[in-house]
Chain A
Amino acid sequence: MSHLVEIRNLKVEATTDAGRRVDIIKGVDFDIAEGEIVALIGESGSGKTTIALTLLGHTRTGCRIAGGSIRVAGRDMAQLSEKGRTRVRGSEVAYVPQSAAAAFNPAQRIMDQVIEITRIHGLMPRAAAEAKAVELFRALSLPSPETIGTRYPHQVSGGQLQRLSAAMALIGDPKLVIFDEPTTALDVTTQIEVLRAFKSVMRQSRMAGVYVSHDLAVVAQIADRIVVLKGGEVQEIGTTREILSAPKHPYTRALLAAFSPPGRVTAQPAAENDTARPVLELEAVSAGYGKPGADGTPPILAVDKVSFRLERGRNLGIIGESGCGKSTLARTIAGIIPPASGHIYLDGKPVAPRARDRSPDELRRLQIVFQSADTALNPAKSIADILGRPLAFYHGLRGAARDARIDRLLDLVHLPRTLKHRLPAELSGGQKQRVNLARALAADPDLILCDEITSALDTVVAAAIIDLLKDLQQELGLSYVFISHDLHTVQAICDEVAVMYRGEKVEQLPARDVGSAAGHPYSRLLMASVPKLDPTWLDRLERDPELVAAFAKR
């Protein structure tokens, strides 16, 4: 029997800004059987989403299918006319987008959009379609399934929209559903609910699926087979179990290795006595947004009375889900958002709330590195200029002395010196993040605040950055405050971890103890929600419903 999907020698080319044509998919083959879920996994730029979209006969602007065939239920999507493709889309192959928040039309009610496929293809009367939609809402365990359809997209949460977008795809009983990184934008505690919902409806309906993701652990829960991609080429195809337990290709192995980085060998504090001044200390710091009220507290309180001490040479991790206030905390420490109350001490001395009121030396000692190197590096300046400015500003270095120091900095972050004449846009994501770090090092700081610095990077690249941070610490005696939503990363580098929830620090404990039975219930829930490489993890996972009700945002 022939497969539902047969992709043969698929090539997609893109036209660059300069008018050159580049192959971004370089001859890909794979099959999907009826009712089978195949995952496409790879880093950004590996072509996983491009391949998935060709199953709908769609390419993004500037790209086109240059060769090969994509047979879906016997029809070649590459050969079909635009009209023919239109007939297949939605009815036979359906799509669940990465960001449901952007994929819902803000001006239309949810129900109209969910049943739109049945209207376009004339599949069933409106009443029947709405009844079916409500049934799907229920199957996807959405709250108040009867009425949620009457709302507008901005009135429901991100996790709910993601499930609603699945309902939108499933309404026309397609043969194949494409999930394009559907849980990437969600918090871990929300991701589980969505993942569970997807898994159960796909299992019941026996539809085939393509699941695009960069996250091996997520894919392990839902896919039957995994296709590993890199640079527009298939590296390895195997069943989920094969890929996880016996990866053949070196790239697959690197992916798996990056998933479980070695933990930190806890540094012994230089002198184990209380007289040592902590490099950073916070005393009941609160901060927020909006015009402060009469009592000085802002209407939106993002950080609520957070205190901690960080000793020299040690690292503190701060974890929590989006909106817990961890990034605001970093910005408050750096003086970007002045605290509404509380005190910040640097090296035992209190510092001014606002950066502009701090002395150049205080500013120099505390550096911050931001998540996205794309926005943290001035695209109009060369790497040498970017690194040279803090050297001139803080240390008054000029000419040859400055050039020599720039070379040293590039060596420190393991970048070739030849890079200094380039612009940021000419560097890869990992290289940019290294430059970003080098600029902070140029100040010769005592403490670096790392705000989600590995979150935008691919797994393997992120692991290399973490290794670099460890090396730099040994060499330069730095301290880090490491902010992340990813527990694995934090555990890899930090001695202690503070868990934040809704602006408050719920607990602080040694990195290895996070999520242990003794910890705070929220920490336990958070830890339990992080997907594991074990394919049976999701099915075996039992979460305390009370905990979920108390803490999970849906």
Chain B
Amino acid sequence: MNTHLLSLLGGRLLVALFTLFVVSFVVFGATQILPGDVAEVLLGQAATPEAVAGLRAAMHLDDPAILRFFYWLGGLVTGDLGTSYANNMPIAQLIGGRLKSSLQLAAATALFSVPIALALGITSAMLRGTLYDRAITTATITVISVPEFMVATAGVLIFAVWLKWLPSLSITRNVDSFGELIRIYAMPVFTLSFVISAQMIRMTRAAVIEALNTPYVEMARLKGASRTRIVLRHALPNALGPIVNAVALSLSYLLGGVIIVETIFNYPGIAKLMVDAVSTRDLPLIQSCAMIFCFVYLLLITTADIIAILSNPKLR
């Protein structure tokens, strides 16, 4: 550890914090563009002007927007996510269990797809130009080009409707056995894996091919090194940064995919909660969910950056 490295890492964290600040500003701003009195909405048509005024004061609605932004941000930082408009429950309570379900889904998907995607990406780079490589490239480009809901509906059509192997809906209650668990998670995990693996395979392949085109790989070849040795000893250690980045970026696509997948499979996760909140225009809930998503995304990207920095021997 040297000071240069530390300042580099510190810089990355600062950038992440700054980004989070801008993101929270945008999220808050977007949900505050429309005029319309939240207090009236909440209390209904029959409310007395006094009641509305009272609520407005309590919610700081009469303060300038920028001040309300900082109230809200302060609440976020101290863990106070506010109260849902729709059912007056503390948002933290609404989100708690849902977040856990979503993280379980994401973890299962990551565990399933990352090893497979890396293996396919690396091997197709090694066998560049062969039929195997072309098949994988074509398959990934196809998957990337279709909407997630198409993968999901096609999956349901094939496995639940025609083959009747799996249920088309997920309900994470009454899980009695491991077999049941697999049956419930299979469709969402499979759909999500399909979508994020395609990205990961493409990026991994590109990273390894780039490393294979370097002069030091040619040098290793001229030393008589075998293909396996070239890839394992020379290409992969140098492609580590880009590969970790590819994994992190792909996992961040999980966030987008999870919105569709939770909706289509009726999976009780945080994304489903958010989509429902949009239809009821429950703004505080939307804001909190959005911030959680962005936080997870930044966490992934920053972690990947830090790993890339640490894996670079020039900086060690």
Interface of A with B (CB < 8 Å)? 53, 56, 58, 86-91, 94-95, 97, 99, 102-108, 116-117, 120-121, 152, 154, 168
* B136 within 8 A of partner (CB): no
Instruction: Evaluate contact between B237 and A90: CB separation under 8 angstroms.
Output: no
Given A154-B313, A154-B314, verify A102-B223 contact (CB < 8 Å).
no
Interchain residue pairs A-B with the least CB separation, the first 9: A89-B224, A90-B224, A102-B215, A90-B223, A107-B237, A103-B219, A95-B222, A105-B216, A86-B224
Q: Tell me whether B68 is interfacial, beta carbon within 8 Å.
A: no
Least CB distance from B95 to A in Å reads 42
Write the B215-234 contact mask toward A (1 if CB under 8 angstroms, else 0): 11011111111100100011
Tell me whether B224 and A121 are in contact (CB under 8 A). Answer: yes
Partner of B234, one of A105, A152, A168: A105
In the complex the two chains form, is A106's CB within 8 Å of B238's CB?
A: yes
B214 on interface, CB distance cutoff 8 Å: yes
A89 in contact with B223 (CB, 8 Å): yes
Cross-chain contact B222 with A89 (CB below 8 angstroms): yes
Q: Which residues of the other chain, A, contact B214 by a CB distance below 8 angstroms? A: 102
Chosen A-B contacts, 24 in total, with CB atoms closer than 8 Å, are: A86-B224, A86-B225, A89-B221, A89-B222, A89-B223, A90-B224, A94-B222, A97-B215, A97-B219, A99-B215, A102-B216, A103-B215, A104-B219, A105-B233, A105-B234, A106-B313, A107-B237, A107-B313, A108-B233, A117-B223, A120-B224, A120-B229, A121-B224, A152-B313
Cross-interface CB contact of B220 among A53, A116, A152, A154, cutoff 8 Å: A116
Nearest chain A CB to B239 CB, angstrom units: 10
- Contact yes or no, B216 A104, CB < 8 A: yes
Q: Of B215, B216, B218, B224, which is in contact with the most chain A CB atoms at under 10 Å from its CB? A: B224
Inside 8 A of B313's CB, which chain A residues have their CB? 106-107, 152, 154
Of the residues A95, A120, A152, contact of B219 by C-beta under 8 Å: A95
Q: Is the CB of A116 within 8 A of B221?
A: no
Given contacts A103-B219, A107-B313, A154-B313, 10 further A-B contacts (CB under 8 A): A53-B222, A86-B225, A88-B224, A90-B224, A94-B222, A95-B223, A108-B234, A116-B225, A117-B223, A152-B313
Would you list which residues of chain B between 103 and 143 have a CB under 8 Å from chain A? none
* Cβ–Cβ < 8 Å partners of B224 in chain A: 86-91, 117, 120-121
* Alpha-carbon distance A279/B223, docked complex (angstroms): 56
Rounded to whole angstroms, the CA-CA distance of A86 and B228 in the bound complex is 13
The answer to whether B222 and A90 have CB atoms under 8 Å apart is: yes
Minimum Cβ distance to chain B for residue A84 (Å): 11
Cβ–Cβ < 8 Å partners of B221 in chain A: 58, 89
CA distance A254 to B234 in the complex (A): 43
Q: How far is the CB of A22 from chain B (nearest CB, A)?
A: 21
- Number of B positions contacting A (CB below 8 A): 20
- The residues of B that contact A97 with a CB separation of less than 8 Å are 215, 219
**Contact between chains at B314 and A86 (CB < 8 Å):** no
* Pair B215/A120 contact, Cβ less than 8 Å: no
A439 to B199, alpha carbons, bound, how many Å?
Answer: 47
Determine the distance from Cα of A104 to Cα of B311 in the docked complex, in whole angstroms. Answer: 17
Inter-chain CA distance A108–B316, complex, in Å, is 12
Query: A residues within 8 A CB of B218?
Result: 58, 103
A99 closest partner in B (C-beta)? B215
Contacting A at CB under 8 A, from B232-249, are 233-234, 237-238
Assembled-state Cα–Cα distance A4/B257 (Å)? 64
- A58 touches which of B222, B229, B311 (Cβ 8 Å): B222
CA distance A117 to B222 in the complex (A): 10
Cβ–Cβ < 8 Å partners of B225 in chain A: 86, 116, 120
Closest A residue, CB atoms, query B238: A107
Q: When the two chains form their complex, are residues B314 and A152 in contact, meaning their CB atoms are under 8 A apart?
A: yes
Decide if A105 touches B220 in the complex (CB within 8 Å): yes
Residues of A within 8 A of B223 (CB): 89-90, 94-95, 116-117, 120, 168
CA distance A58 to B223 in the complex (A): 11
**Which residues of the partner chain B approach A152 to less than 8 Å between Cβ atoms?**
313-314
> Chain A's nearest CB lies how many Å from the CB of B215?
4
Chain A nearest Cβ from B29, distance in angstroms: 34
Q: In the complex, what distance in Å separates the CA atom of A545 from the CA atom of B222?
A: 37
Report the minimal beta-carbon distance from B219 to chain A, rounded to whole angstroms: 4
The residue in chain A whose Cβ has the minimal distance to the Cβ of B229 is A120
Write the chain A residue with the least CB distance to B226: A86
Closest chain A residue to B222, Cβ basis: A95
The answer for the CA separation of A121 and B223 in the assembled complex, in Å, is 9
Contacts of B233 in A (CB 8 A): 105, 108
Complex: chain B residue closest to A154, CB-CB: B314
**Is the beta-carbon distance between A105 and B314 smaller than 8 angstroms?**
no
A160 to B309, CA, bound (A): 26
Minimum distance in angstroms from A246 CB to a CB of chain B: 36
Distance (whole angstroms) from the CB of A173 to the closest CB of chain B: 14
| A99 vs B223: C-alpha distance when bound (angstroms) | 16
The distance from the CB of A407 to the nearest CB of chain B, in whole angstroms, is: 43
Can you name the residue of chain B whose Cβ is closest to the Cβ of A87? Answer: B224
Contact B222 A56 (CB under 8 A): yes
Residue of B nearest to A57 (CB): B222
Smallest CB–CB gap between B283 and chain A, Å? 44
Taking A89-B221, A120-B223 as contacts, is the C-beta distance between A106 and B229 under 8 angstroms?
no
**A56 to B224, alpha carbons, bound, how many Å?**
9
A37 to B194, CA, bound (A): 58
A412: shortest Cβ distance to chain B, in Å? 41
Please, how many angstroms separate the alpha-carbon atoms of A58 and B311 in the complex? Answer: 31
A106 CB contact (under 8 Å) in B220, B222, B226, B314: B314
CB distance from A105 to the nearest CB of B (A): 4
Docked pose: A102 CA to B217 CA in angstroms: 10
Nearest CB of chain A from residue B294's CB, rounded to whole Å? 33
Contact partner, A105, options B226, B238, B311, Cβ 8 Å: B238
Report Cα–Cα, A423/B204, bound state, in Å. 37
B127 to A: closest C-beta gap in Å: 14
Residue of B nearest to A95 (CB): B222
